[in-house]
Structure 1
Amino acid sequence: MKKTFFVLLPLILLLSNISSAQQRIVSLSGAISEMLCSLGLEDQIIGVDVTSNYPASLKQKASVGHNRNISAEGIIALRPTLVLAVKDELKPEVQEQLRLAKVNLQVVKQEFSPAGTRSLLQEVAKITNTEAKGKQLLSSFDKEMAALKIANNGRKVLFVYARGAGSMTVCGTGQSPDQMIRLAGSANAMTGFEGFKPLSAEALVAANPDVILLFDSGLQSVGGVDGLLKVPGVINTNAGKNKKVISMDGQFLSGFGLRLPQAILQLNKKITG
């Protein structure tokens, strides 16, 4: 513990020179970053994680890496007055180091549901003292959600997380892709387990999805639709036979930010189209 403290000490001293009136925010969540921008705080964001890709202007901010592999030093070096992170996404040791450095770290809960998005927005607005603007955004979000008329389409959808043909897993229950598939009026083709597990040809054929869903980056990593069809078992499913493979931007599909209504509608159209 003492060794960690002395390593961070030079960076801690940098924080003492920042005026308390100056807002310097580091966001470690794409959904939170999107909300901060909608709340009118984009100019106060000084650093973001790699999932913070919307709006596109966030790409000009300093990047601190992926929220699950971030170092405290990289955050502290930006001299933030506020760091926002989602619970369970920031390593406990990094949280401890930030708190030792007297960084104002606010860890919030995120649930993958419309109600979870509402709660996250309210929490972020409260932390940043933008509750009036937050109420306006919440009203617009609720209206967009209410306007969705998504009927059950009877399709079984399989979500595949791919990082190349040699690294592919499928989504069970309790994850954001599973919830999105359900919100879009479809059924998850993989049930009986939570989280992710390696893709197997046997399980794939047994699940027999009508549609296979990937992130855009994942589909590219396996060589597009043609590459995916070469994966053992894919061609033996309804999705493979009909070449019904769809993809969406990862953060848009699974982020559960304020664009959730648009993401649900787009996914529904891709599934049924």
Structure 2
Amino acid sequence: MSCLVRVRSSRTASARPVRRIAVAVFTVAMAATLGACGSSGGTGSTTQHGPATATLADTNPVPIGSAPHPVLPVTVHSFDGSSVTVTDASRIVAVDQYGTLAQTVWALGLGANLVGRSTAAAFPAAKDVPSVAGGSGSINVEAVAAQRPTVFLTDTVSATPTIRDQLKALGITVVYFDPDRTLAGVGPQIQAVAAALGVPQAGTALAQRTQHEIDAATAAVPKQNPAPKIAFLYLRSTAITMMAGPKFGSHALITALGGTDAGEAAGITEPFVPITSESMISANPDAFLVMSDGLQSIGGADGLAKVPGVAQTNAGKNKRVIDMADSVLLSFGPNTGRILAALSHALYGTHPA
């Protein structure tokens, strides 16, 4: 008998990494509490039945200390290839499609300086910070300018070439960051943001704390032999159902959870491919990892079972679906260690340290 565990965090806004995934669609298609529901023994087996929602009790990034005093000016290397001199960090706008940059600013202790964010930065502490971009990172240049930022932090996907030209014409100081989200990139990106804001010591401390939490969460993952095969699915109604491969950030999460990326095992080499019966049955995952809004958009676990090939997989037969809020799951920022612990609990039924 299957059961449903659905525990939500307090915020309602969610990140939708649509733009980058849409690129993958066109490229390829033309291509709880932390909760787990299963056997009462809590053996850690992913063959337990039923969906589970992984949540954080508090999604607010924890500041590394009291507010630091930026030492400026600083000249940093921007990801767009330019050198940028930052002279003032008193009014910071931070926008990306995962909310990572705003989370990092907050965790560095500079939350009081944050005057603009994307809706993806949905943690409660930032609820009164004006939104200047949609969940997909789509930037409203007029809204950015209205906040009179002394520095604007974004990435080279959220800011299209046209947006970059508009920001430059307005004379806004912009530092661009790597749009890719990987486990290995969490610490370096924290330090890059801290360097741009003139608080490198806070950045080093935050990166070290975050890495310690990631290491602890990874070490606590139950060892399974064989490793469970986990497929990350991107779902946006029945019209968009895709499975990720090793080039997407979910691969790092799956590996850290002691799993095998089912997409990679099935031979997927692109970030995403449209789901077909053949690809799904070939992947034959033991569990699915999805974003909560995506799962809801197709009718939950019952709706997922109707996607071609799903019912024939081990995960489909056992309804093993692990979902997590869109704005949390792929953020790869200061909360990453806690995110991994929450996912491990939902997947294996373990209790976070």
TM-score range, shorter chain: 0.7 to 0.9
Distance 2:101 2:107 in 1: 10
Residues 205-261 of structure 1: per-residue CA shift (max 9 Å, x gap): 121111011101111111111121122321111011111111012232211101111
Of 130, 133, 139, which aligns to 1:65? 133
> Which one-letter code corresponds to 2:212 in the other structure?
K
Residue aligning to 1:26: 93
Q: Classify 1:123/1:64 alpha carbon distance in 2 versus 1 (closer, same or farther; 3 Å).
A: same
Task: Verify the 8 A CA contact 2:214 2:340 in the aligned structure 1.
Answer: no
1:111 is displaced (CA, Å) by 4.6
1:260 and 2:336 are equivalent in the alignment? yes
Of 277, 280, 295, which aligns to 1:219? 295
Residue aligning to 2:67: none
Task: Verify the 8 A CA contact 2:92 2:151 in the aligned structure 1.
Answer: yes
Q: Percent identity?
A: 30
Of 35, 38, 44, which aligns to 2:104? 35
1:162 and 2:235 are equivalent in the alignment? yes
> Which one-letter code corresponds to 1:90 in the other structure?
A
Residue aligning to 2:280: 204
Residue aligning to 2:214: 145
1:246 and 2:322 are equivalent in the alignment? yes
Task: Verify the 8 A CA contact 1:68 1:91 in the aligned structure 2.
Answer: no
> Which one-letter code corresponds to 1:118 in the other structure?
G
Distance 1:257 1:249 in 2: 15
Residue aligning to 1:77: 146
Distance 1:59 1:168 in 2: 31
Distance 2:181 2:216 in 1: 20
Task: Verify the 8 A CA contact 1:110 1:120 in the aligned structure 2.
Answer: no
Distance 2:306 2:156 in 1: 38
Task: Verify the 8 A CA contact 2:120 2:137 in the aligned structure 1.
Answer: no
Q: Classify 1:51/1:222 alpha carbon distance in 2 versus 1 (closer, same or farther; 3 Å).
A: same
Residues 116-166 of structure 1: per-residue CA shift (max 9 Å, x gap): 111111111111122222232223223223323135531111111111122
Two-structure CA RMSD over aligned residues (Å) = 1.9
1:110 is displaced (CA, Å) by 5.0
Distance 1:21 1:204 in 2: 51
Task: Verify the 8 A CA contact 1:181 1:187 in the aligned structure 2.
Answer: yes
> Which one-letter code corresponds to 2:305 in the other structure?
L
Residue aligning to 1:7: none
Distance 2:215 2:253 in 1: 16
Distance 2:262 2:215 in 1: 27
Q: Classify 1:271/1:96 alpha carbon distance in 2 versus 1 (closer, same or farther; 3 Å).
A: same
Residues 184-206 of structure 1: per-residue CA shift (max 9 Å, x gap): 11111112322112122221112
SS in 2 for 1:190: helix
Distance 2:89 2:192 in 1: 21
SS in 2 for 1:217: helix
1:22 is displaced (CA, Å) by 7.3
Residue aligning to 1:3: none
> Which one-letter code corresponds to 1:163 in the other structure?
R
Structure with the largest fraction of helix: 1
Q: Which runs of 5+ in 2 are unaligned?
A: 1-86
Q: Classify 1:177/1:52 alpha carbon distance in 2 versus 1 (closer, same or farther; 3 Å).
A: same
> Which one-letter code corresponds to 2:341 in the other structure?
L
Task: Verify the 8 A CA contact 2:183 2:252 in the aligned structure 1.
Answer: no
Q: Classify 1:62/1:106 alpha carbon distance in 2 versus 1 (closer, same or farther; 3 Å).
A: same
Greater relative contact order structure (CA < 8 Å, 6+ sep) = 2
Of 141, 159, 168, which aligns to 1:90? 159
Task: Verify the 8 A CA contact 1:158 1:212 in the aligned structure 2.
Answer: yes
Distance 1:128 1:109 in 2: 16
Relative to the length of structure 1, the TM-score reads 0.86
1:105 is displaced (CA, Å) by 0.5
Q: Classify 1:96/1:207 alpha carbon distance in 2 versus 1 (closer, same or farther; 3 Å).
A: same
